[in-house]
Amino acid sequence: MRLAMLGISHKIAAVDVRERLALQGDRRDRFVERLRQAPCPVQVVVLSTCNRTEIYLAQDGTAATDEPFMQWWAQTCDFPLPQLGSIIQRRDGQAAIQHLFRVASGLDSMVLGEPQILGQVKTAYHQAKEQKTVGPILHRVFEHAMAFAKQVRTTTGIDAGRVSVGSIAVEYAQQIFERFDDKTVVVVGAGQAAKITLRHLAALKPGKLWIVNRSIQRAKQMIDGLGLDIRSGGYRAFDALDDLLGESDIVLTGTASPHPIIRRERFAGMMGKRCHRPVYIIDTALPRDVEPSVGDLANVFLYNIDDLQGVAQQTHDKRSEHANTCEVMLDGASSQCMHELNHQEIGHVIRVLRQKLHEIGDVERVRTQHKLLAMARSNDEAALLNLLADHTRRLINKVLHLPMSQLGHGRSEDALASFASAMRVLFALDVDAPTPTTDGANTEADITGGTTETPADPTVDVVTLPPLQDRVSPVSARATSP
């Protein structure tokens, strides 16, 4: 089994490169179509978001390479292959699992702990399931990743709080007001920070929205740029500000004025007119548009840009603390997942091996049966015993032929040593025991399936087989039984 991740993310690729390499929509479909033409079956999940494009692959065997996938990716996106090779990020085995876990839980996100990525991982997985490109390996890995991401969020709170100024402003608004369809928002100025905050506030669907600016044209441009539709409210000049402040529930300021435009005396008078209803003021301007002492008035909740950014920083710090806990959890979870995958792999291998040995056993059984039927009338006991010995010898030779022949083909010393070690363990071989010399049963030629005249393969010398009765494994014994 080979599990790998190939991808690019915001950490290694600029936005223009990420745009070109994104595998979404048609591109994704084309990429999957190319995969279907692959010579060997491959499991694939494509995760493509604004910050990353990652391909998770699982294949049988360890010899597979990434090159075909990179080539298909480059062809699909019309991107130079060498350039792709230079920026691509590769992860194999447990590292790939850890990477996916980190991505799903938001530890690898641009905004630490952001929750959207989990939904995107789920979508990618479900799309792959619909396109039938997910097999048992990726199924298990993605199920584990999603469960881990949920566990991390519930136990550590890494996704708690907001990290953008606009969303923090909205969160405060929701702590002051229960509903917004009867509220009036007054936006003073058209600065960039005010524009960003207004985008979030507009999502609350306030009852009225008034824009106060020196240039009505610029205010209209801002609203058009945000794609807002002002049904109730409109644009006003600065001389109408007092009237609007008396009516407002949420005031958002972002002018370039060098002096405060809302002073305490001015606002204190208005609070009486508005029956001391709570008012929420967000001052995104620098220098500030609202005198800080306005915030001391009863039922006035004043937040400036420093307050909001301070909260964002606190949230980020808190999430960073949680990230360390998550990393510890991640090691354990990914190891567990890898362990399960290995067990799943071993189970699969055993099933295939069993099937293969049964096929060999069936062929030999049919061959021996024919010979037995031919001898049935002769009653030659010696011939019968010879036939039985021949059957057993052929069966063992056939079973051992493939693994033994694999030992000699240009293997490195390390590989041979590991094979030898594995065989000692798998067949419970005692290498110190005296080598049996029964007739032809464990000679070089028998092992390779040839005759006694065949020259010995020097690479097979390291293998010494125990007596026949010890070498017949339960699997092969069952395979040869009629």
Partner 1 sequence: MTDLTITTLCLATLAVVSATASALAIRGVRPDQPKWKSYAIEKALIAVCAAGGVALESYRVLYVHQGWRVLENHVDGLVIVATLLSMALFEMRRRSRLLGLAAFAMPAHTFVVLWAVCASAWTYREFRIDSLVAQAHRGGIYLGTFCAFGAASGGMLYLFAKHRLRTKRRPTSQTPLASLEAIERFVRRLATVGFVLITTGVLLGVFVASTTPTRLGPVWWRSPKIVLAAAAWLTYAVIAYGGYAKRLRIHTAWLSIVGLILVLATFGIVGADSARSVAIRYPIRATDPADTVNRFLPEPAEKKVSDDTRRSP
Catalytic residue numbers?
50
CA distance 480 to 329: 49
What is the smallest separation between the CB atom of 168 and partner 1, expressed in angstroms?
Answer: 7
275 vs 425 by CB, closer to partner 1:
275
CA distance 257 to 254: 9
CA distance 469 to 472: 6
- Interface stretch with partner 1, choices 31-39, 257-265, 311-319, 395-403 (CB under 8 A): 311-319
What is the smallest separation between the CB atom of 310 and partner 1, expressed in angstroms?
Answer: 7
Order of strands across the sheet with 2-9?
42-48, 52-59, 2-9, 89-92
Return the residue of 62, 224, 231, 275 that touches partner 1, per CB under 8 A.
275
Supply 314's token pair. 């606190």
Cα Rg for the chain, rounded, in angstroms?
A: 36
Q: Is 436 left (phi over 0), alpha (psi -120 to 50) or beta?
A: beta
Supply 148's token pair. 């881990």
What is the smallest separation between the CB atom of 203 and partner 1, expressed in angstroms?
Answer: 17
172 vs 267 by CB, closer to partner 1:
172
Return the residue of 277, 343, 351, 478 that touches partner 1, per CB under 8 A.
277
Q: Is 367 left (phi over 0), alpha (psi -120 to 50) or beta?
A: alpha
Contact 450, 378 (CB under 8 A): no
| HSE-up of residue 263 (Cα within 13 Å, Cβ side) | 4
CA distance 45 to 30: 14
242 vs 345 by CB, closer to partner 1:
242
Residue 401-440 contact track with partner 1, rule CB under 8 A, x = bound: ----------------------------------------
Return the residue of 50, 164, 177, 199 that touches partner 1, per CB under 8 A.
177
174 vs 320 by CB, closer to partner 1:
174
What is the smallest separation between the CB atom of 70 and partner 1, expressed in angstroms?
Answer: 41
- Interface stretch with partner 1, choices 168-176, 217-225, 254-262, 362-370 (CB under 8 A): 168-176
Which residues inside 99-158 make contact with partner 1, applying CB under 8 A?
A: 154-157
Return the residue of 172, 210, 235, 267 that touches partner 1, per CB under 8 A.
172
Residues 6+ apart with CB under 8 A from 175: none
Instruction: Answer yes or no whether residue 176 interacts with partner 1 by CB under 8 A.
Output: yes
Supply 66's token pair. 């990434």
Residues 6+ apart with CB under 8 A from 322: 113, 156, 157, 158
Residue 219-258 contact track with partner 1, rule CB under 8 A, x = bound: ----------------------------------------
Residue 356-395 contact track with partner 1, rule CB under 8 A, x = bound: ----------------------------------------
Return the residue of 12, 15, 87, 160 that touches partner 1, per CB under 8 A.
160
Return the residue of 287, 310, 347, 440 that touches partner 1, per CB under 8 A.
310
Number of residues that bind partner 1 (CB under 8 A): 31
Residues 6+ apart with CB under 8 A from 473: 427
Which residues inside 279-298 make contact with partner 1, applying CB under 8 A?
A: 298
158 vs 193 by CB, closer to partner 1:
158
Return the residue of 16, 178, 224, 453 that touches partner 1, per CB under 8 A.
178
Return the residue of 88, 121, 128, 311 that touches partner 1, per CB under 8 A.
311
Return the residue of 303, 334, 396, 476 that touches partner 1, per CB under 8 A.
303
| Residue linked to tokens 């407002």 | 248
Instruction: Answer yes or no whether residue 299 interacts with partner 1 by CB under 8 A.
Output: yes
What are the beta bridge partners of residue 92? 4
As a whole number of Å, the end-to-end CA separation of the chain is 33
Supply 134's token pair. 């997910």
Give the Å distances, CA to CA, from 207 to 41, 48, 204, 230.
Answer: 57, 38, 9, 10
CA distance 364 to 398: 9
What's the burial of 191, exposed, middle or buried (CB within 10 Å: 0-12/13-18/19+)? buried
Instruction: Answer yes or no whether residue 205 interacts with partner 1 by CB under 8 A.
Output: no
Residues engaged in binding partner 1 (CB under 8 A):
154-157, 160-162, 168, 171-172, 174-179, 272, 275-278, 298-299, 301, 303, 307, 310-311, 314-315, 318
